[in-house]
């Protein structure tokens, strides 16, 4: 049997580099609670992501829940609805529900798989308190349309940018500059990791200060708590990993880009009609991730949507028999989870179709070209 190829593998800095970084912890005995490494990483990330204020968290989920809690307005007895996408990881919907809001699911765009602004606008009512779109797979949402909706109805947009680390718009703006706040995940499986970790980017210092207090039990300098809080601070060990990984992020994204390009070449071979703007390849009836004009992507995931003639589940099983492990990111839709399926919601036919037919292929910076070829070859053999 050939060696297993997992859907992903974390990027790690050279061991000596990390050891050198954490040596400082043995010198100053500072393990957590906003230590110097946390401070260093925070400043470096603000610079790298091109955002004004970043607050670091234990993980992306805590970061998103905190942003929703602090930014979306809860009103007793008046309805607490947040419009969001069901085509996402469990975390997005749990963060909404966990902050005491009711998720209202809207459909996604068939090309980018991100929340469709028109579908969102049709669902806005007096109970709507916020919108939580997701830059799924690092594809940017239609942020201009959401900005207009936000202004028109005076409701905040809080982005789940878990997948969008380092993505820049055609104008060179970081993904984290859109909306009232953006959450990034630095989980081990992400293009950039701090082992576990996450952050919220916001424009104003005041909200950043509140978020920072919130993740330290709501406590201010004098020891008083003006609000309830939690414990979601990033440790110095996680920050050290982030500092090291950030030094290599350019190289990591370049390697991921090369792997994605190789996949695309192999999967669209001989298809003269392949359209990179839609990602549709007629030859084998597959849809790849489209190129977003002018943006600088991060090659976070390599999802393939199948036409439905062959079931994604079946393809995944056949690949597993070859020791190749893909993931159904994202199936089922979060609106179909047992804990949400009884919530009233409208139809989401596009999300239903994409979710049923999508598979994320193995992708990580150090993936060998021979393994990329092995995955593409096995996949083509199944779908041909």
191 binds ligand T4K (CB under 6 A): no
Cβ burial, residue 380 (10 Å; 0-12/13-18/19+)? middle
CB 348 within 8 A of CB 116: no
Considering the complex, what minimum distance in angstroms separates the CB of residue 195 from ligand T4K?
8
Report the Cα 93 to chain-centroid distance in Å.
13
Q: Which is nearer to ligand T4K, 206 or 366 (CB)?
A: 366
Quickly list DSSP for 169-203: -TTS-BGGGSSSEEEEE--TTSSS--SS-EEEEES
The pattern of x and - marking residues 197 through 236 that bind ligand T4K according to CB under 6 A reads: -x--------------------------------------
- Say how far apart CA 162 and CA 173 lie, in whole Å: 17
Dihedral sign computed on CA atoms, order 99, 90, 44, 29: positive
**Sequence-distant contacts of 264-269: CB under 8 A, at least 24 apart:** 264/288, 266/372, 266/373, 266/376, 266/377, 266/380, 267/304, 267/376, 267/379, 267/380
The pattern of x and - marking residues 41 through 80 that bind ligand T4K according to CB under 6 A reads: ------------------xxx-------------------
Query: What residues have CB less than 8 Å from 318, skipping those under 6 apart?
Result: 378, 382
Choices 156-164, 223-231, 336-344, 376-384; region in contact with ligand T4K by CB under 6 A: 156-164
Among candidates 369, 10, 365, which has minimal Cα distance to 186?
Answer: 10
Say which DSSP state 2 is in: P
Considering the complex, what minimum distance in angstroms separates the CB of residue 55 from ligand T4K?
14
Cβ burial, residue 62 (10 Å; 0-12/13-18/19+)? buried
Q: Which is nearer to ligand T4K, 182 or 268 (CB)?
A: 182
* Structure token pair of residue 163: 């997948």
Q: Which is nearer to ligand T4K, 96 or 253 (CB)?
A: 96
Considering the complex, what minimum distance in angstroms separates the CB of residue 360 from ligand T4K?
8
362 binds ligand T4K (CB under 6 A): no
94 binds ligand T4K (CB under 6 A): no
- Say how far apart CA 264 and CA 271 lie, in whole Å: 11
Cβ burial, residue 78 (10 Å; 0-12/13-18/19+)? exposed
Choices 114-122, 180-188, 244-252, 289-297; region in contact with ligand T4K by CB under 6 A: 180-188
256 binds ligand T4K (CB under 6 A): no
Choices 70-78, 87-95, 141-149, 203-211; region in contact with ligand T4K by CB under 6 A: 87-95
The pattern of x and - marking residues 310 through 339 that bind ligand T4K according to CB under 6 A reads: -----------------x-x----------
DSSP 3-state assignment of 233? coil
Q: Binder to ligand T4K among 121, 124, 189, 331 (CB under 6 A)?
A: 189
- Say how far apart CA 221 and CA 289 lie, in whole Å: 47
89 binds ligand T4K (CB under 6 A): yes
Q: Which is nearer to ligand T4K, 284 or 331 (CB)?
A: 331
Considering the complex, what minimum distance in angstroms separates the CB of residue 8 from ligand T4K?
4
Query: What residues have CB less than 8 Å from 29, skipping those under 6 apart?
Result: none
Q: Which is nearer to ligand T4K, 135 or 212 (CB)?
A: 135
359 binds ligand T4K (CB under 6 A): no
Q: Binder to ligand T4K among 134, 324, 358, 363 (CB under 6 A)?
A: 134
88 binds ligand T4K (CB under 6 A): yes
- Alpha helices (H) in the chain, listed in sequence order: 15-28, 36-49, 60-71, 90-98, 117-123, 143-153, 205-214, 236-247, 249-267, 312-321, 349-357, 369-383
Choices 5-13, 151-159, 216-224, 244-252; region in contact with ligand T4K by CB under 6 A: 5-13
Q: Binder to ligand T4K among 42, 187, 210, 212 (CB under 6 A)?
A: 187
11 binds ligand T4K (CB under 6 A): no
- Site residues for ligand T4K per CB under 6 A: 6-10, 59-61, 88-89, 91-92, 134, 160, 162-163, 185, 187-189, 198, 327, 329
């Amino acid at each position: 049997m050939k060696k297993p190829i997992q859907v992903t593998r974390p990027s790690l800095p050279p061991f000596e580099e990390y050891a050198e970084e954490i040596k400082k912890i043995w010198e100053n005995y500072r393990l957590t609670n906003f230590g110097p490494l946390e401070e260093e990483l925070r400043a470096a990330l603000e610079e790298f992501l091109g955002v004004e204020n970043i607050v670091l968290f234990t993980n992306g989920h805590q970061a998103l829940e905190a942003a929703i809690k602090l930014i979306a307005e809860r009103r007793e007895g008046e309805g607490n609805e947040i419009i969001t996408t069901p085509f996402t990881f469990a975390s997005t919907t749990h963060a909404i529900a966990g902050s005491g809001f009711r998720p209202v699911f809207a459909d996604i765009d068939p090309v980018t798989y991100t929340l469709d602004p028109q579908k969102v606008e049709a669902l806005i009512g007096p109970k709507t308190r916020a919108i939580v779109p997701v830059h799924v797979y690092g594809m940017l949402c239609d942020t201009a349309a959401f900005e207009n909706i936000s202004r028109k109805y005076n409701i905040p947009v809080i982005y789940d940018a878990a997948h969008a680390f380092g993505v820049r718009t055609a104008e060179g703006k970081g993904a984290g500059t859109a909306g009232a706040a953006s959450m990034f995940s630095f989980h081990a499986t992400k293009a950039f990791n701090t082992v576990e970790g996450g952050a919220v980017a916001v424009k104003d210092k005041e909200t950043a200060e509140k978020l920072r207090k919130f993740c330290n039990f709501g406590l201010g300098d004098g020891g008083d708590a003006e609000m309830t809080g939690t414990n979601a601070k990033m440790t110095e060990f996680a920050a050290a990993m982030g500092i090291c990984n950030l030094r290599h992020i350019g190289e990591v994204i370049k390697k991921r880009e090369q792997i994605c390009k190789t996949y695309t070449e192999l999967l669209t071979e001989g298809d003269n009609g392949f359209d990179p703007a839609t990602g549709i390849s007629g030859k084998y009836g597959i849809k790849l991730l489209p190129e977003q004009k002018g943006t600088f992507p991060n090659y976070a995931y390599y999802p393939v949507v199948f036409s439905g003639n062959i079931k994604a589940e079946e393809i995944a099983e056949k690949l597993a028999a070859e020791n190749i492990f893909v993931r159904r990111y994202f199936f089922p839709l979060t609106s179909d989870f047992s804990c949400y399926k009884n919530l009233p919601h409208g139809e989401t036919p596009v999300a239903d179709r994409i979710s049923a037919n999508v598979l994320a292929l193995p992708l990580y910076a150090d993936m060998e070209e021979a393994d990329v070829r092995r995955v593409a070859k096995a996949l083509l053999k199944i779908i041909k």
